[in-house]
Structure 1
Amino acid sequence: MIRKEFPDGWAVCKVAEAGDAISGQQKTPAASLAPEQYPYLRVANVFDDEIDLSDLATMNFSSEAREKYRLKDGDVLLCEGQSRELVGRAAVYRGELEELFFQNSIIRFRPHKEILPEYALLVFRAYQKEGVFSQIAKATTNIAHLGLNRFKSLPFPIPPRAIQELLADTARVFQERVDTARHVLAESVPDLDFLVRNFRDQVIIGDRDPEEESFPSEADPSWVTAAEAVAPDAPIVYGILQPGPDVEDGTGVPYVQQQDLQNGEVTEGQLRNTSVAVHEKFSRSAIASGDVLLGIIRNTRVAVVPPELDGGNINRGIARLRPREDLESEYLAHWLSSHWVQGWLSDRMRGIDMPGLNLRDVRQLPVPIPKVTEQRRQVNLINQVVDKANEARAALVESQQHLLKTEVLTIAGLAYGDLARTISQSLSNSMTGVETQNLVNRMLERQSSVKAPAKKKTSQVRKTGEMSAEGGVANADNLLQILKSSGGRISPAELYRSMRLEDDAVDDFYALLRDLSKDGRIDIDRPDDELVFVTIGAPS
């Protein structure tokens, strides 16, 4: 049973009492092959606070199913099946398409009118980020399932409508800033890589065009092929074809795979180990400290073998280049990492599903070999920039992690935590307890009426601004008259009391405030974090 501490004065009900929650239609071969196809949302379309409509799948929905599963503006959608850390990922549908439905991997929560959709989204995002959904989810293989009934049984906090709106608006402003910061941080990493590549190319290549350089001759020995840039007794080779099962008893030999080449280094912590027998069978591809490794399948990452891996091996996705005596390892690694070489290698990739380089092409790669002193000078310049870039990259990663933690804490804080308590207390004059209890009572009455339909009552349909003040119903003329008589400035709580509204008119009251505010007939003035006033709008 999930228990949460919600702000004092708030009411609490179950998710099932706060709105209608259902799962979507299951996809079947018959639905996929039927002539009439309709677009629907699946997990691949629902992200955190975002719905992607660029890639919609289709299937058939009967007329009854279309009525049941058609999405409406304000529906909150949650991923029912997802990895455990992402299960319950939620977003609000904004009615972008005239007809759109949803699959059974999605839960649709349609809040009752007492609950603001944006506030419901805030609560569910907080549940997802704090791990509430993952805690109740049931896992099968790699997929965790939220479960409709488990979801409907969760507690749902209910602040007054005015507080719901303020919390949701605050969360929206915060999220926009987070998204902007996240975008800037994400874009900064490739920008760093671009700067490093450009600087490296300028240092090593300058204004020369490697395609026009002549290959080794007595007149021009400065350019050679890669096959001639390696030690005579260590030709360019790739590694083990089938390393076999991982040896974990301490007797194995570590070998490097492509995924182990990261940011110009070999990530030793995750290396796998093959048997001594397999290693000896492929002794020709054994690696030594200072060897340069080049990825040749899918990517062409580069790294220099550290002393700790002397005597190890590589798999078939990596080519080993052991520099000859007059060629510095770091210089060769920088050359292979240059923008020009990476483009040269990419142009020679073959294959679609698993593009790769032929070693024959690698051996033909042009390699400039200046004097060793010049190589070291260039390496020193490039390393200074690379070190600074790595420091900046580490700072960016740390900032991304900090931003993520801040997002989790703030979203939960605004949904029902300390921030929500502070905001709720600052609006303590808005009859919090009475309003929230009325909200709960009306939702419970609605639930009861579904189970046992009450007798029909004759009701009169009214439009906003045309509601009668008699019987305690919100009325625009009455509201504006009271506002003028108060001097054009009054708190929402005092205005509510002065209108002598019935208890169940709370939602109509705040809906009327929103409509009049949009029309410019009133303004909402917040002089500080604690006070809120309704004022007469500026004449247009």
Structure 2
Amino acid sequence: MIRWDGTAPGGTGKRRAEAVGEVSVTVDSGRANGDVPAGWERVRVDEVGEVRLGRQRSSARQTGQQGARYLRAANITNAGLDLRDVLEMDFTAEERERYRLREGDVVLAEASGSAGQVGRAALWEGELEECCYQNTVIRFRPHALVPGYALLAFAHLRYSRQMANAARGVGIQHLGARRLSGLSIALPPWEEQGRIVGEANRRLEELDQAEAELSSAMDKVEQQRKEIVAAAATGGILPHRLKGPEGPVGREEGRRNTDSEEDDAEPSRDGWSLAKVGELGSIQLGVTRSPDRLRRGAGARKYLRSANITDGELDLGTVAEMYISAAEAARFDLRAGDVLIAEASGSPDQVGRSVVWREEIADCSYQNHIIRFRSDVIAPEYMHLVISHYRYSGMLAEVAKGVGIQHLGAGRFADLRIPVPPKLEQRAIVAEAERLLGLSRARGKAAEDSLERVRLMKQEVISAAVSGELVPQREGAETAAAMLERLGPPPKVSRGTRSRRVGQRRGSETQVKGREGATIQLVDALLKEDRAVAAEELFLLAGYDRNSPEQVELFYLELRKELESRLRAVGNSTENQLLEVIADAFE
């Protein structure tokens, strides 16, 4: 939180118009107040501070001889600065002076894959002796603003989605220094800014404490849910039964359960057995998506993707279609009671997400990133509990293989050994687990609702702070217009000088050099992956180098070219959209 000592900025100014960068700023005490309280002004961001984008990172300029620490957007979180991973790159003496952070600067995340995360702001309080910042960060150096009030103003611009609406881009949303400069904020008198910051900090600290307690409660509910699932998978959920093997069926037990030499191990519980999954039912990977299937319109059939499977639930907001023959439809059909398992994921702990199919969609198939398990021996709900426990314990992550994308594989899944109780006990376990999980969900929902109310209350405090409703105004105080008259405009943003290095190429030569690392076209990468992916993942799948600014630019140029012709964004959300190939783009 910001501490303010009530000292007004020094210096005197005079009424004048002066160019700030490329923006002409006129300070006029007679301007209309509009929707702001008496004595306030509505101003552009660049009228009350210096706005500067950071230095672009370039691997070609990395010599290690002029290294300096720098902030990235990743260092700016919703909770403030995270300085556990601060990188270094070369800055010349001139660049160090231009991009050095000073105490009281406000740093903002210039870009994000989520529009709602663009503009995350934090106050720099000199945490590191010398630190600069990259071009994924915008530095705002207050001139006519108390730093703490600048934070409140930027938070309001973000929560009201003005920053999100100003951001531009496909996949990655960019705010840009110029667009930030053009946003307007309400400017109170200097003395009132300090009182606003003090009162806002007091209230926000109380809400921060409530938020931390509710978040801790939600973590405990989540841990309780995993313990219920573990107890269900090991039989401990039924207290009247004999206790089973020591400890849960987790990492160590999972390793034993994949060892073929243990096939004849005696079960340690009356009526229970250990069996390979492949011995308990049929295991079938889904149909493989291909360009030929996308070209053919007739015979299109809905199918599930791994993205449709969440943690124990189905997300059917977007269900894709492709050509599937009658014979394939019969082979890759879905019936009530089938257990569906996400076979692959870019995140190891997401491999093995499972759900029980309840015939939510008629005549539906599934693609080859899903494993279908069908059995008359084991209850589907019990199987789902066991698979979930194996995933929570990390055992499925250890079994999965792959580089980048982790695959469970039908064969490895079939070799897993699981505890199998009698059918009557399976049903009793499922019933008790569902009862306890229902209670746990209710507690979690109550905590989640309370947490949402606290977050809304924080936004209300911020809104009140920037609209003059948080503290009373004082008669006779210097007005914002008089303050601007006295201070004058912020210092002009200097662009510095650039010299082209010997051998540096321009135009198409640079583009050719930037494309060298990319191995396949975006459409080919998506077809090969056979699923919808986020822009960030597509960037890596196509072989681009995230450390090369040139390749980042080339990626988005190619993406813009392909969008709406051969690629499209799927889903209703404007944030974190997935990209997929347009089925009829090949006709």
* TM-score over 0.5 for the pair: yes
Change (3 A) 1:437 1:32: same
Secondary structure at the counterpart of residue 307 of structure 2:
helix
Say yes or no: does 1:241 pair with 2:288.
yes
Aligned to 1:89: 120
User: Are residue 374 (structure 1) and residue 419 (structure 2) matched?
Assistant: no
How far 1:194 moved relative to its partner?
A: 2.5
Determine the structure 2 residue equivalent to 1:200.
229
Return the alpha-carbon distance in structure 1 between the equivalents of residues 490 and 393 of structure 2: 65
Contact 1:48 1:125 in 2 (8 A): no
What letter corresponds to residue 71 of structure 1 in structure 2?
L
| 2:354 is the alignment partner of 1:302 | yes
Q: 2:57 matched to which residue of 1?
A: 27
- Hey, what's the Cα distance between the residues in 1 that align with 2:266 and 2:100? 75
Which of 174, 188, 191 is 1:159 aligned to? Answer: 188
CA distance in 2, matches of 1:422, 1:221: 65
Which of 23, 29, 38 is residue 8 of structure 1 equivalent to?
38
CA 1:228/1:47 → structure 2, altered by over 3 Å: closer, same or farther? closer
- How far the C-alpha of 1:91 sits from its partner, in A, is 1.5
- Residue 185 (structure 1) shift: 3.9
Tell me what 2:500 maps to. Answer: none
Q: Deviations over 1:435-492 (max 9, x none)?
A: 53432221227779x9xxxxxxxxxxxxxxxxxxxxxxxxxxxxxxxxxxxxxxxxxx
2: CA distance, partners of 1:192 / 1:49: 22
Q: Does 1:270 align with 2:318?
A: yes
**Pair 1:238–1:168, CA change in 2 (3 A):** same
Partner of 1:405, secondary structure, is helix
Q: Does 1:174 align with 2:216?
A: no
Q: Of 377, 395, 414, which aligns to 1:363?
A: 414
Distance (Å, rounded) in 1 between the aligned partners of 2:402 and 2:128 = 40
Distance 1:145-1:202 versus aligned 2 partners, 3 A rule: closer
Contact preservation (8 Å) 1:289, 1:309: no
Given candidates 388, 410, 415, the residue that maps to 1:337 is 388
Structure 1 Cα separation of the partners of residues 185 and 315 of structure 2:
46
Please state which structure has a larger fraction of its residues in helix.
1
CA change 1:179–1:290 in 2 (3 A) is same
Q: Structure 1 residues 339 and 34, CA, compared in 2 at 3 Å: closer, same or farther?
A: closer
1:438 corresponds, among 482, 487, 501, to 482
How many residues end up aligned between the 2 structures?
Answer: 433
**Cα distance between partner residues in 1 of 2:125 and 2:354:** 46
Q: Is the 8 A contact 2:40 2:479 kept in 1?
A: no
User: Take 1:297 and 1:208, find their aligned partners in 2: how far apart are those partners?
Assistant: 32
Which range is displaced more, 61-70 or 40-49?
A: 40-49
| 2:199–2:471 contact (8 Å) kept in structure 1 | no
SS of equivalent to 1:88: coil
Q: Distance in 2 between matches of 1:215 and 1:398?
A: 50
Unaligned runs of 5+ in 1: 451-540
Superposed, 1:214-225 pairs within 5 Å as: 215=264, 222-225=273-276
Structure 1 residues 370 and 80 mapped into 2: Cα distance closer, same or farther (>3 Å)? closer
Q: For the Cα contact (< 8 Å) 2:204–2:461, is it kept in 1? A: no
Partners of 1:287 and 1:309 within 8 A in 2: no
SS of 1:142's partner is: coil
Match of 1:141, SS state, is coil
Question: How far is the alpha carbon of 1:321 from its aligned partner?
Answer: 1.4
Q: Which AA in structure 2 matches 1:303?
A: V
Q: Among 270, 273, 279, which residue is 1:228 paired with?
A: 279
What SS is found at the alignment partner of 1:170?
A: helix
In the other structure, the counterpart of 2:505 is none
Q: Classify the secondary structure of the residue corresponding to 1:270.
A: coil
1:131 and 1:268, CA in 2 relative to 1: closer, same or farther beyond 3 A?
A: closer
Distance in 2 between residues matched to 1:65 and 1:105, nearest whole Å: 16
Distance 1:117 1:98, change over 3 A: same
Contact 2:285 2:371 (C-alpha < 8 Å) held by counterparts: yes
Structure 1 residue 398 displacement after superposition: 3.3
Q: Given the superposition, is the C-alpha separation of residues 239 and 54 from structure 1 closer, same or farther in structure 2, using an over 3 Å criterion? A: same
User: Structure 2 CA distance, aligned partners of 1:247 and 1:174?
Assistant: 59
Contact 1:43 1:81 in 2 (8 A): yes
Structure with more relative contact order (C-alpha pairs < 8 Å, separation 6 or more): 2
1:407 shift after superposition: 2.7
Alpha-carbon distance in structure 2 between the residues aligned to 1:248 and 1:443:
68
Q: 1:124 to 1:268 in 2, by over 3 A?
A: closer
Q: Are 2:344 and 2:405, in contact at CA under 8 Å, matched by a contact in 1?
A: yes
2:373 is matched with 321
Q: Distance in 1 between matches of 2:357 and 2:445?
A: 22
